[in-house]
């Protein structure tokens, strides 16, 4: 087994518990529909990779199963297949295939962001999230797999830790929210931080910059949740912004360290 295959297997193993929790919460009809979406995601991911690889004369690459599973795990509920297919195709093409099969950001993150912006009422993101209750079983189900990934060096744990600290500080101090810990269990915070924001495609290289990167993501999540009247989850948008500005944060921290 190659290193890429081993990493892909670890990601699938890590995403299996939160997927199982999602399937249990969906009930039988919803679970079947979510599994159909997983098959659809796998088909689109592997199909796009095969088509681009054939055209470019290269191998398809790894990470496709993780892309499909991360997308499906982040869905709060089953969504229309047509909009999901379009979002998955966008994420597959613009998330990795046009860059030679190498992702610059997690393709699942790009697909989810495209879906949320393009189909805001289709159920890709929780709305009025502050009126809901924390889903700690789902959040806790993300931790064992994330710990394995961090131990194997496949996940930037300082980003995840920084996001938790940033979210807690923003909710507990800046906004005066007494139940700050509930914010960590709301919506897709745990899965989004661990499997999207802390993925190596999003994370910067320096340890200090990773802590800052995570803190920015955590603060952005809370800011989006409290500032927007529609109260969206905010995790996907925060992870996307954090990933886009990660190189700038890395450069800023590196320059500050050299001056210090």
What total of structural domains would you count in the chain? 2
Query: Which helix H or strand E contains 170, and what residues bound it?
Result: none
Phi/psi region, residue 100 (left: phi>0; alpha: psi -120 to 50; beta: rest), is left
Pair (40, 83) in one structural domain: yes
As a whole-number percent, the residues of the chain with pLDDT over 90 amount to 57
In a domain, 139, yes or no: no
> Of 118, 137, 163, which residue is a domain's last?
118
Dihedral of CA 84/225/181/202: which sign?
positive
The pLDDT tens digits of the residues spanning 120-158 come to 999 999 988 988 888 999 999 999 999 999 998 889 999
Pair (107, 36) in one structural domain: yes
Region 69-78: what's the mean pLDDT? 96
In a domain, 166, yes or no: yes
Pair (170, 109) in one structural domain: no
Pair (90, 41) in one structural domain: yes
Nearest to 206 by CA among 247, 162, 242, 244: 247
Pair (255, 155) in one structural domain: yes
Pair (90, 17) in one structural domain: yes
Pair (10, 114) in one structural domain: yes
> Rounded to two decimals, what is the model's pTM?
0.92
In a domain, 216, yes or no: yes
> Of 97, 118, 139, which residue is a domain's last?
118
Q: Which pLDDT does position 5 carry in this prediction? A: 63
Q: What are phi and psi of 126, to 5 degrees?
A: -70, 135
In a domain, 125, yes or no: no
As a whole-number percent, the residues of the chain with pLDDT over 70 amount to 91
Pair (112, 192) in one structural domain: no
- Domain holding 192, by residue range, is 150-259
Question: Helices 81-95 and 3-56: crossing angle, nearest 10°?
Answer: 90
């Amino acid at each position: 087994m190659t290193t890429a295959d081993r990493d892909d297997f670890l990601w699938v193993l890590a995403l299996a518990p939160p997927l199982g929790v999602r399937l249990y919460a969906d009930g039988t009809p919803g679970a079947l529909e979510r599994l159909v979406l997983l098959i659809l995601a796998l088909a689109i991911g592997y199909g796009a990779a095969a088509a681009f690889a054939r055209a470019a004369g290269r191998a398809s690459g790894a990470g496709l199963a993780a892309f499909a599973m991360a997308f499906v795990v982040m869905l709060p509920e089953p969504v229309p297949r047509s909009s999901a297919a379009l979002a998955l195709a966008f994420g597959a093409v613009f998330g990795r295939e046009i860059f030679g099969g190498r992702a610059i950001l997690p393709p699942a993150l790009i697909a989810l962001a495209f879906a949320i912006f393009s189909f805001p009422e289709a159920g890709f993101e929780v709305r009025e999230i502050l009126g809901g209750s924390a889903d700690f079983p789902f959040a806790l189900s993300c931790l064992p797999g994330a710990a394995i990934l961090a131990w194997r060096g496949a996940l930037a744990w300082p980003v995840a830790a920084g996001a938790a600290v940033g979210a807690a500080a923003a909710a507990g101090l800046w906004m005066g929210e007494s139940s700050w810990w509930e914010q960590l269990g709301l919506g897709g915070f745990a899965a989004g931080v661990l499997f999207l924001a802390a993925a190596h495609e999003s994370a910067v290289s320096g340890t200090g910059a990773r802590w800052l990167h995570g803190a920015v993501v955590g603060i952005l999540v809370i800011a989006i949740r409290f500032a927007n009247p529609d109260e969206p989850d905010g995790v996907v948008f925060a992870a996307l912004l954090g990933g886009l500005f990660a190189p700038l944060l890395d450069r800023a921290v590196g320059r500050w360290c050299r001056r210090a």
